């Protein structure tokens, strides 16, 4: 069974150490990173794509709410807040049904928070959790909540090819691969070169339809026929037209999230 990959974020060393000591004996949890501040947390979470995040609310430079805003809801793991807020603020957390640990907390209270996180992960309630995170941001930091609004999703791309201007509906795209500052758009057996980085295009595509499976590849989920096991946790993604693409371990969690089940 895959372990729950976890990141701990707190600017206080004793607080991080306590969480680590509580998690170390837990067999289904693996701590993949500890961060002392918000900027480092954002970088590590983007790189590691963890399942679970223990996040201190009050930190210098970039606080917990700032971390959520910087990540965006799509990239935010299941989050347990660590807070020293008073009871008025805690009522707001309760309303939004997000778990928190109020310093100092007992071992039993920590286990309860961990169990709730397991439930979210097991039932794949990511969309509901993201809505609650957005509501929480709107309650506490409306200035940051506005920045988490999803960008306008692409309906079509306008491509210049052979002296013509071609309108390509994004739903017709089978898969995309990076080519420097360009991308290759593969659609219906044809390939079109488009000047845009893979990351930039990914941010504008509908995440329900398109998922990144490799640092250089995005695929249309509707085009996947099957997954074939490869080496070291990687898979070969086979499309309906027979195209074979590589699903790397780094991006496997993203595909699992879209499918709603573990591979």
Query: 206-234 pLDDT, tens per residue?
Result: 888 899 999 999 999 999 999 998 887 78
Q: Whole-angstrom Cα distance, residue 60 to residue 128? A: 29
Name the residue with higher pLDDT: 73 or 55.
55
Which tokens belong to 163? 């002296």
**What are the tokens at 176?**
């995309």
93 pLDDT band, cuts 50/70/90, is low
Q: Buried b / exposed e across 218-251, counting CB within 10 Å, b at 16+?
A: bbbeebbeebeeeeeebbebbbeeeeebebbebb
191: confidence class by pLDDT, cuts 50, 70, 90: very high
**Whether pLDDT at 152 is above 70:** no
Average model confidence (pLDDT) for the chain? 83
Q: Decide: 156 and 167 in contact? Cβ < 8 Å.
A: yes
State the Cα–Cα distance between residues 20 and 110, nearest whole angstrom. 12
Stretch 233-238: mean pLDDT? 89
Rounded to whole angstroms, how far apart are CA atoms 95 and 79? 16
Q: Give kind and range of the element (H or E) at residue 136.
A: helix 126-140
pLDDT above 90 (res 125)? no
Q: Which domains does the chain have, with CATH numbers?
A: 4-147 (3.40.50.2300), 156-259 (2.40.50.1020)
Question: Are residues 107 and 118 in contact, defined by beta-carbon separation less than 8 angstroms?
Answer: no
Where residue 130 falls among pLDDT bands split at 50, 70, 90? low
Cα–Cα dist 231/233, whole Å:
6
* Residue-wise DSSP of 60-122: SSS-HHHHHHHH-GGGPPEEEEEE---HHHHHHHHHTT--EEESS--HHHHHHHHHHHHHHHH
- Lowest average pLDDT, out of 133-142, 238-247, 252-261, goes to 133-142
Residue 144, pLDDT > 50, answer: yes
Give 52's strand partners.
6, 78
């Amino acid at each position: 069974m895959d372990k729950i990959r976890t990141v701990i974020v707190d600017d206080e060393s004793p607080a991080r150490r306590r969480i680590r000591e509580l998690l170390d004996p837990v067999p289904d949890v693996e701590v993949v990173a500890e961060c002392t501040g918000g900027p480092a947390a954002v970088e590590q979470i983007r790189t590691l794509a963890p399942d679970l995040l223990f996040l201190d609310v009050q930190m210098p430079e970039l606080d917990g709410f700032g971390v959520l805003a910087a990540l965006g809801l799509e990239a935010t793991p299941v989050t347990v807040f660590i807070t020293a807020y008073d009871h008025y603020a805690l009522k707001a957390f309760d309303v939004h049904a997000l778990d928190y640990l109020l310093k100092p907390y007992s071992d039993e209270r920590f286990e309860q928070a961990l169990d709730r996180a397991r439930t979210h992960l097991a039932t794949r309630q990511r969309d509901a959790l993201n809505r609650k995170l957005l509501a929480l941001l709107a309650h506490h930091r409306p200035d940051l909540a506005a920045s988490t609004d999803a960008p306008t999703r692409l309906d079509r791309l306008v491509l210049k090819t052979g002296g013509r201007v071609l309108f390509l509906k994004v739903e017709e795209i089978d898969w995309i691969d990076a080519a420097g500052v360009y991308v290759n758009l593969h659609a219906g057996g044809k390939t079109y070169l488009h000047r845009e980085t893979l990351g930039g295009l990914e941010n504008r595509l509908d995440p329900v339809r398109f998922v990144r499976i490799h640092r250089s590849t995005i695929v249309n989920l509707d085009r996947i026929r099957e997954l074939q096991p490869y080496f070291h946790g990687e898979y070969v993604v086979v499309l309906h037209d027979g195209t074979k693409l590589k699903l790397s371990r780094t991006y496997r969690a993203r595909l699992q999230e879209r499918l709603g089940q573990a591979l």
